[in-house]
Amino acid sequence: DSGVTQTPKHLITATGQRVTLRCSPRSGDLSVYWYQQSLDQGLQFLIQYYNGEERAKGNILERFSAQQFPDLHSELNLSSLELGDSALYFCASSAAGGRRRGEKLFFGSGTQLSVL
Amino acid sequence: DQQVKQNSPSLSVQEGRISILNCDYTNSMFDYFLWYKKYPAEGPTFLISISSIKDKNEDGRFTVFLNKSAKHLSLHIVPSQPGDSAVYFCAASVGNNDMRFGAGTRLTVKP
């Protein structure tokens, strides 16, 4: 158990809809990362938050947004969903948010999103 | 853009033999490299890492080799065990921001 909690584990929705994925980092970790894993693709970095502030942005679509709350949990909002958004979405956390070189990430077990 | 590439989607080895997983990268600014292991229905877990100032790091049965001139790293598992069967992701970062992952290699270790 990595200590990172993601809910829900599975989500089935229709095109055009909006969903929210939730992530609780490990106790004490200040940074949260979101990754997308599509079929046969690696983990695509979406966005990182550190202590409530956006820290780095990757290949995140404009239809997607995220935030980190004062209690450090994070939510990833996906709107106007398309079939191609079907993927496994991982959240990861780290203690220092990239301030230490080579700092490892702790991943949740992911949310499997299916857009029908 | 695929800055980290794992060109072998799968690898099958016999128990007790060596497993060699390869990874290539294109960004010469990467200064830290990590390997993660993923079992089905679980998130990736950290396995081993190496700084760009080193060319080898060993942890038990796992050794990572880095060849900066070739922009290539490899993970050696000796001896391989059935419990090592998983998907292995190579990752690279510049100061641990914006960590980039490869597509993964599925390792199967046969008893």
- Which tens digit of pLDDT belongs to each residue from A30-74? 999 999 998 767 788 899 999 999 988 888 999 999 999 999 999
- Residue written as token pair 């929210």: A20
A73-92, pLDDT tens digit by residue? 999 999 999 999 999 999 99
Looking up tokens 């999103």 gives A113
CB contact under 8 A, A104 and B43: no
pLDDT reading at A23 higher than 80: yes
A28–chain B nearest CA distance, Å: 18
Name chain A contacts of B31, Cβ cutoff 8 Å: 101
Q: How is residue A97 written in tokens?
A: 């948010």
Residue A1, pLDDT score: 82
Mean pLDDT of the residues in chain A:
91
Taking 50 as the pLDDT cut, the residues of chain B under it are: none
Which residue in B95, B96, B101 is closest to A43 by CB distance? B101
| pLDDT for res A52 | 93
Q: How many CB pairs under 8 A join A and B?
A: 68
pLDDT the model gives residue B10: 95
- Dist CA A107 CA B45 (whole Å): 7
Supply the pLDDT for residue A9: 96
Nearest CA in chain B to A4: B43
8 Å CB contact of A101 and B43: no
What is the b/e burial string over B68-101, where b = at least 16 CB atoms within 10 angstroms of the residue's CB? eeebebbbbbeebeeebbbbbbbbbbbbbbbbbb
Cα(B32)–Cα(B51) distance, integer angstroms: 5
What residues are paired with B101 via a beta bridge? B91
